[in-house]
Amino acid sequence: MSTTTASPASHGASTDRSNASFARAAMLHLAERRMAPTPENYTQAWVAVGGPHTPVDPVVQEHDRQSRRVRRAERLVAELTEMVKTLCDTVDTLAEDERWVRGQIDALREMLAGEIDHVSVAELRALLSRTSDMQRHIAEQRRRALAQLKSTLVELATVLSGLMASTDQYGRRITEHAALIQGASSLASLSDTVQRLLDDTRTMQADVVQSHEGLKRGQDAAHALEREVSRLEEQLAAASAEIVTDHLTQTMNRRGLEDSFTGAQARARQSRQALALALVDVDDFKKLNDALGHAAGDDALRHLATVLKERLRPTDAVARYGGEEFVILLPGANLSDAQDTLVRLQREMTRHVFLFDAHRRFITFSAGVTSVRPDDTLLAAVARADDAMYRAKREGKNCVRVG
C-alpha cells in the first residue's frame, strides 16, 4: 500500500485556506457581539472560534503586502532610472558634436536628478516624443539637403564640362576668325568675319549666363535647406529649455530653480559674496479666483511675473515655486538689500493696476527673505523664507519680513 505525501506547496495552500476560514469566522464573531475589530479583540475572537495559532492581523497582512509591492515598484523605478541614465550617456557619447542632442540629454538628466513621480514620467515621455519627432524631421531635411547638394555638384560638373567644351570650340573659332581677319583682302570679307565673331561671342556669353543661372538655382535651394535644418536644430535646442520653464508665467519652474540655485550658491562661495533668497506669495489669491475665476488668477500670476522680471536685475532669477508662490534669487544682496528690493517691488505692484474684463484690482504680495548659507540646500533656504513670509501674512500682508 502506497502512502501519498502532500507537497509543501499544496500544504501551504491548504493552510492559507484554513486560516482564511478562521479569519472569516473571527470577523463574524466580532460582528455578532458588536465588538470593534481591534488587534486585541481579533485575537480573542480567533481563539474563540478555535483558531490553531495566534492570528496575524489581516490589516497588518495587507500592509505587508502593500509594502512589498511598493518596494518592488521602487526597485523597478530605480533600475529604469539607471537604464535611462546609461542610455543618456551612450547617446551623448555618440552625438557629442550635436548641440541640440546634448540639450535634450541634459534635460533628461535634470528630470532624473529630481523626484520621480507620474508627472515626471509623463514629462519625460512627452520630451522624448517631441525629440523623436523633431529628430526625424531634421534627418529628413538633412537627407534632402544632401540630395540637393549632390544634384548641385553633378550639375556643376556638367556645366563645367560644357563650358570647357564651349570654350575649346570658342577658342578654335577665335583662332579661325583671327586668321581670316589677317588674310582679309576686302572690307566686305572683313565685315563678314567680324559678324561671325560677334555671333560666336554672343553664343558663348549666353552659355555662360545659362550655366551661372543653373548653378545659382541649385545653390539657393541648398542654402534654403541648410537654413531649414539650422532652424529646426535651434527649435529643438529651445525645447530643452522648456523643461525648466513654467509655461504659465515664463519664469523658471522648480527644476530650473534648483539648477540656478546651485550655480548661484557656488559662485557666491567662490567670490565670497552674499546671496539672498526671497519667497513671494500673492495676497488673497483665493478670493481673486473665487470672485473673477481661474482665468483671472492665471492673468494675475502672469502680471506679477512680468513686473518682477522687468524690475529685477539681469543677474537676479525668478521662479514659480508652486501655486501663487515665487522664489527670487538675489546674488550679491545681503538681508538689508534684499528687503529693500522686495519693498520696492511691492511699490511697483501698486503702480501697475491689474485689469481683467474691466475689473480693476491691486495685486499685492507678502514676502520673506533670508541669506543663503554656504551649506544650505534649496529646501532649507526656502523653509526659512517661508517662515518669514507667513509672519508677513500674519502681520497684515503686503509687507516683507526677514528669516
* Per-residue pLDDT reduced to its tens digit, 37-96: 777 777 778 788 877 765 555 655 666 667 677 777 777 667 667 766 666 666 655 554
Please choose, from the candidates 206, 214, 213, 203, the residue with its C-alpha nearest in 3D space to the C-alpha of residue 155.
214
Look at the chain and count its residues. 403
3-state secondary structure of 276: strand
pLDDT tens digits, residue range 261-280?
Answer: 999 999 999 999 999 999 99
Q: Mark 280-314 as b/e (b = at least 16 C-beta within 10 Å).
A: bbbbebeebbeebeeebbebbbebbbebbeeebee
pLDDT tens digits, residue range 165-179?
Answer: 666 666 666 676 666
Pairing of strands 325-331, 275-282: antiparallel
pLDDT tens digits, residue range 200-224?
Answer: 677 766 666 666 666 676 667 667 7
Q: Give pLDDT, residue 293.
A: 86
8 A C-beta contact, residue 367 and residue 278: yes
Distance CA 150, CA 255 (A): 45
156 pLDDT higher than 80 = no
Q: Give pLDDT, residue 384.
A: 94
Distance CA 157, CA 150 (A): 11
Distance CA 269, CA 276 (A): 13
3-state secondary structure of 353: coil
Residue showing cell 535646442:
237
Tally of helices (H runs) and strands (E runs) in the chain: 11, 7
| Residue 385 pLDDT grade (very low, low, confident, very high; cuts 50, 70, 90) | very high
368 pLDDT higher than 70 = yes
pTM: 0.48
> What is the average pLDDT value for the chain, to the nearest integer?
75
Q: How many CB atoms lie within 10 A of CB 248?
A: 14
146 pLDDT higher than 60 = yes
CB-based contacts of 20, cutoff 8 Å, min separation 6: none
Q: Annotated catalytic sites, by residue?
A: 324
Q: Mark 219-238 as b/e (b = at least 16 C-beta within 10 Å).
A: eebbeebeebbeebbeebbe
Q: How many CB atoms lie within 10 A of CB 66?
A: 10
Domains of the chain: 17-129 (no CATH), 144-242 (1.20.58), 254-402 (3.30.70.270)
pLDDT tens digits, residue range 96-137?
Answer: 445 555 656 666 666 666 555 555 666 666 666 766 676 777
pLDDT tens digits, residue range 308-342?
Answer: 999 999 999 999 988 899 999 999 999 999 999 99
C-alpha cell at 91: 547617446
Pairing of strands 400-402, 275-282: unpaired
Bigger pLDDT: 64 vs 376? 376
